[in-house]
């Protein structure tokens, strides 16, 4: 008969996943066909649909309910700030492997909830952490932060970054949260750290004993940070941008190859000391004349016009209006 060419194959395939005497059942007596798929195939399916949908799909089969906790990639996009903590708690209870990538983009900022899920993530993450709070910043918050940073931080909250011993990359746009570094602990595997849009009180010290493997460091749009002390034998690239209250910078980085400093030192009598003998590229676009050690490998230099009249710098907008948050 016409059409019989496909029917035998279809009929032959059905018993492999739908044999009545072998298939498990779900509540209601229905056969749990998906439950007979091996976990590695289920994981491939769940990776295609994303974390949020993968959790919802737990209702398809009893076997699927906890399989998502074996996913190497977790994403929480546009969710309540309490969701990442609940997801990570479930992962901690039922997961067997490390998380390779954790991407969190909440729909509102909460310092306490951020502390909760970061603390759960720290021992589980062995790859990339990406936190994006940028879309939670309203125009009102922006104006408040520019004129009264401490009041803005009180409203939005603050947190202490836990020690991520196994993470290789940390990228965080904090949406003007306040942040503090842990008083102890070593970020053993961290190679790349990028921190943006945050408030930090006083002096920030970054040293080898905390960050022994750091190669790339990017710090941008920070209020409250007045002194930055950096000592690193591993750092290769360092970018520092838009720190209006910065008045003192000390860098000791013998392997540093590229240094960019822009939009900083808006306070008269600022001081910068740089010791980086392997430096090749220097972009120093700030109204502060630094003290440099020898730089025999320097091949590219970008600096602003030199002037000793601070009032002319201020009047030109360099110190007050030269940047836009």
Cα-flanking dihedrals φ and ψ of residue 313, to 5°? -70, -45
Cα separation, 137 vs 134, in Å, equals 6
What is the 3 state secondary structure string of the chain?
Answer: CCCCCCHHHHHHHHHHHHCCCCCCEECCCEECCHHHCCHHHHHHHHHHHCHHHHHHHHHHCHHHCCHHHHCCEEEEEEECCCHHHHHHHHHHHHCCCCEEEEEEEECCCCHHHHHHHHHHHCCCEEEEEEEECHHHCCHHHHHHHHHCHHHHHHHHCEEECCCCCCCCEEEEEEEEEEEECCCCCCCCCCCEEEEEEEEEEEEEEEECCCCCCCCEEEEEEEEEEEEEEEECCCCCEEEEEEECCCCEEEEECCCCCEEEEEEECCCCCCEEEEECCCCCEEEEECCCCCEECCCCCCCEEECCCCCCCHHHHHHCCCCCCCCCC
Is the pLDDT at 136 greater than 90, yes or no?
no
Using alpha carbons, list the distances in angstroms from residue 320 to 44, 223, 244, 287, 317: 53, 14, 9, 12, 5
Q: What local confidence, expressed as pLDDT, does residue 31 receive?
A: 47
Q: What local confidence, expressed as pLDDT, does residue 226 receive?
A: 95
User: Are the C-beta atoms of residues 84 and 106 closer than 8 Å to each other?
Assistant: yes
pLDDT averaged over every residue in the chain: 77
Q: What local confidence, expressed as pLDDT, does residue 140 receive?
A: 67
Q: How many CB atoms lie within 10 A of CB 129?
A: 22
Q: Pick 212 or 60 by higher pLDDT.
A: 212
Q: Report, as an integer, the average pLDDT of 224-241.
A: 97
Cα separation, 32 vs 17, in Å, equals 9
Is the pLDDT at 24 greater than 50, yes or no?
no
User: Are the C-beta atoms of residues 252 and 278 closer than 8 Å to each other?
Assistant: no
Q: What local confidence, expressed as pLDDT, does residue 111 receive?
A: 84
The residues facing 225 across adjacent strands are 202
Is the pLDDT at 118 greater than 90, yes or no?
yes
User: Are the C-beta atoms of residues 279 and 302 closer than 8 Å to each other?
Assistant: no
Using alpha carbons, list the distances in angstroms from residue 112 to 13, 172, 223, 244: 52, 16, 20, 27
Token duo for residue 12: 């032959």
Torsional sign, CA 91, 95, 99, 100: negative
User: Are the C-beta atoms of residues 86 and 59 closer than 8 Å to each other?
Assistant: no
Among 108-117, 219-228, 241-250, 288-297, where is mean pLDDT lowest? 108-117
Percent with pLDDT over 70 in the chain: 65
Is the pLDDT at 10 greater than 50, yes or no?
no
pTM: 0.75
Token duo for residue 74: 């977790």
* Residue in the structure block whose two tokens are 């074996």: 70
Cα separation, 67 vs 92, in Å, equals 13
Is the pLDDT at 234 greater than 90, yes or no?
yes
Q: Pick 87 or 48 by higher pLDDT.
A: 87
pLDDT tens for residues 160-179? 999 999 999 999 999 888 89
């Amino acid at each position: 008969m016409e059409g019989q060419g496909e029917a035998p194959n279809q009929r032959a395939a059905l018993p492999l996943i739908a044999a009545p005497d072998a298939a498990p059942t779900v509540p209601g007596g229905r056969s749990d066909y998906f439950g007979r798929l091996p976990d590695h195939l289920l994981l491939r399916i769940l990776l295609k649909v994303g974390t949020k949908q993968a959790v919802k799909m737990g209702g398809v089969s009893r076997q699927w309910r906890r399989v998502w906790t074996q996913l190497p990639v977790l994403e929480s996009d546009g969710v309540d700030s309490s969701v990442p903590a609940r997801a990570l708690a479930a992962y901690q209870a039922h997961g067997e492997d490390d998380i390779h990538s954790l991407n969190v983009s909440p729909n509102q900022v909460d310092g306490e909830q951020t502390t909760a899920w970061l603390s759960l993530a720290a021992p589980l993450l062995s790859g990339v952490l990406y936190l994006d709070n940028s879309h939670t910043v309203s125009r009102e918050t922006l104006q408040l932060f520019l004129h009264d940073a401490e009041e803005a931080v009180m409203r939005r909250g603050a947190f202490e970054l836990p020690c991520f011993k196994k993470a290789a990359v940390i990228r965080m746009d904090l949406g003007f949260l306040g942040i503090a570094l842990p008083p102890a602990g070593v970020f053993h595997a961290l190679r790349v750290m990028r921190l943006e849009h945050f408030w930090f009180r006083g002096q920030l010290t970054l040293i080898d004993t905390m960050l022994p493997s750091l190669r790339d460091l990017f710090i941008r749009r920070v209020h409250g940070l007045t002194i930055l002390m950096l000592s690193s034998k591993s750092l290769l690239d360092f970018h520092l941008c838009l720190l209006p209250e910065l008045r003192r910078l000390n860098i000791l980085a013998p392997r540093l190859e590229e240094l960019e400093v822009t939009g900083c030192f808006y306070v008269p009598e600022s001081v910068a000391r740089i010791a980086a003998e392997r430096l090749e590229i220097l972009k120093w676009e700030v109204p502060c004349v630094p003290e440099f050690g020898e730089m025999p490998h320097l091949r590219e230099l970008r600096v602003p016009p030199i002037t000793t009249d601070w009032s002319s710098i201020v009047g030109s907008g360099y110190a007050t209006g030269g940047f836009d948050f």
